[in-house]
Amino acid sequence: MTSISVDCIWPIAAELGEGPVWCAAETALYFVDIKGRSIHSCDEHGRTRRSWPTPESIGFLQPMSRGGLVAGLKSGLHHFDLIRGVFKLALDVEPGARGNRLNDAFVDSSGCLWFGSMDDAERSPSGALYSIDDNGRAVCHDDGYVITNGPCKSPDEKTFFHTDTMKRIVFAFDVSEDGLLSAKRPLLEITNGYPDGTAVDADGCLWVALFGGGRVERYSPRGTLIQSVHFPCDNVTKVAFGGNDLRTVFVTTAWKGLSPSQRQAQPLAGGVFAFRSDTPGLPQHSVSRGFQREYS
């Protein structure tokens, strides 16, 4: 396997950096600090930096086709107006599960938003996998997760991937023409680290960030390990493809869970990293279905 060098493009020291999203129209990378309650943005090289506070923990951001972003906050799905820095609740996904928060998301080519929920205390299997239908309702596809992660689809969108982080399993599902999931089966079982956020490249290979594993691994569509990319910090959280050719891989990390001595030994923990891939990723889509509406 060819060794890949990684660069820290922003040593921001996020407590729980997550959810990198490349917005090609803005040539900008967005990501969140879940525990630091903040949104951050920069260009491909880590410059042109901007930050916004959030009123509560934030699990993800995804672009909306009419402008702005949809944000998965602890209380539900919100519209986020970048210009005014204002959040507006769009949907309370789990009104009866106040111990949960939203965590990790994906938008498919139809503009449908997929995302998960999880126990904020990381103990109870109260999390579930959702999508938003055309009427703006949350549809539950699977449940029983302590920590949901890594929703994404294969290039032909006939296979859906989803991660049970605490069980260390990445599952594959079949996707029907009407968007329903079936035939759940384990694709990957990780032993050295916890599978976190994932992304699929143009060849259909799955890139998996490993929390506590200090690396990103690339697997074939059938689950064969192809490549490992190592990082100077243990807690690697999610990958996203971007840049003009979709061959720049952005990676978020976290210092959450590290002891003081580990943090001293890993000064770049919580930074945002980038490396180059021979294979491009898939384009980032925008949310255009379900609860789209103009800001008032």
Which residues face 152 on adjacent strands? 161
Compute the distance between CA of residue 287 and CA of residue 115 in angstroms, rounded to an integer. Answer: 12
Compute the distance between CA of residue 200 and CA of residue 218 in angstroms, rounded to an integer. Answer: 9
Q: Token pair of 249, please? A: 């891989």
Compute the distance between CA of residue 165 and CA of residue 209 in angstroms, rounded to an integer. Answer: 11
User: Which residue, among 199, 208, 262, 273, has the nearest Cα to 234 in the 3D structure?
Assistant: 262
Compute the distance between CA of residue 221 and CA of residue 37 in angstroms, rounded to an integer. Answer: 35
Q: Active site residue: 108, 164, 196, 234, which one?
A: 196
Q: Is 206 left (phi over 0), alpha (psi -120 to 50) or beta?
A: beta
Phi/psi for 93 (5° steps) reads: -70, -45
Active site residue 196: yes
Residues noted as catalytic: 196
